[in-house]
Amino acid sequence: MSAAAEYFENIKETVRTVFEGMAVTASHFVRKPYTVQYPDRMPRRVQDTLPFRYRGILEVDLEICTGCLACERACPIDCIVIACQKDAATKILTLAQFDIDIAKCMYCGLCSEVCPTGSIHHTSEFEGADFSLESLIRRFVTEPIAAYKPKKGPETDPHIVPLLERGMRHVDDYAVPGGDKPAEAKTA
């Protein structure tokens, strides 16, 4: 095959593939558009369709946070910042800062696994988009708050008991490897 014949064969192949691609593009002009009306007009909430143990945006229950800094140490990318101060006179540990940078978080779940009370946990919330990186820093402490000090026996405060039960249920259901569903779902 001569060079001229090969040259014209390449031009013919180029024109054919351009028209083939344009045919696909032109077919979209005559198709009926299919638009999902997200999130307003979905038949079910998106959060209800997420799988069990979905790792969404982190949430912290400061009422049961002990200030042990285990979650801060476990975070591999340092997106959790905690500042604790111990009052020398009263020996009470106070949380001055508890920030989570959602922009840096990789949702690995290591922080929620090491929490002894289950105060830090993943929610089913996943929409964290915003216009600035500064607004993606979740600041949970607005003013210094006393850290939770576990009792030697069972907890008696009626406000704290449900939070602790939920936190410990999170630790039992989500942080323990194995099993697809929590104990309540397996029996049902």
- CA separation for the pair 66, 84 (Å, rounded): 10
Q: Give 121-178 pLDDT, tens digit per residue.
A: 888 888 888 889 899 999 999 999 999 888 787 777 777 888 887 777 766 666 555 5
pLDDT of residue 188: 41
> How many residues does the structure list for the chain?
188
Three-class SS of 99-158: EEECCCCCCCCHHHHHCCCCCEEECCCCCCCCCCCHHHEEECCCCCEECCCCCCCCCCCC
Residue 179 pLDDT greater than 70, yes or no:
no
Around Cβ 146, how many Cβ atoms within 10 Å? 14
**Residue whose token pair is 């593009």:** 25
Identify the pLDDT of residue 161.
80
Reported as a pLDDT band with limits 50, 70 and 90, residue 117 is confident
The reported pLDDT for the residue numbered 36 is 67
Residue 185: per-residue pLDDT:
47
The 3-state DSSP class for residue 177 equals: coil
- pLDDT band at residue 78 under the 50/70/90 scheme: very high
How far apart (Å, rounded) are the C-alpha atoms in residues 47 and 132? 25
| Confidence (pTM) | 0.67
Q: Which residues, including other chains, have CB under 8 Å from residue 157's CB and lie 6 or more apart?
A: none
Query: DSSP alpha helices (H): ranges in 56-138?
Result: 70-74, 110-114
- As a whole number of angstroms, the longest Cα–Cα distance in the chain is 96
CATH 3.30.70.3270 fits 51-177, yes or no: yes
Q: Where are the domains of the chain?
A: 51-177
Can you list the alpha helix ranges (DSSP code H) found in 1-88? 3-30, 46-49, 70-74
Q: How far apart are CA 67 and CA 120, in angstroms?
A: 11
Could you read off the pLDDT of 9-50 as tens digits, one per residue?
Answer: 999 999 999 999 999 889 888 888 777 666 666 677 778 888
Q: What is the pLDDT of residue 186?
A: 46
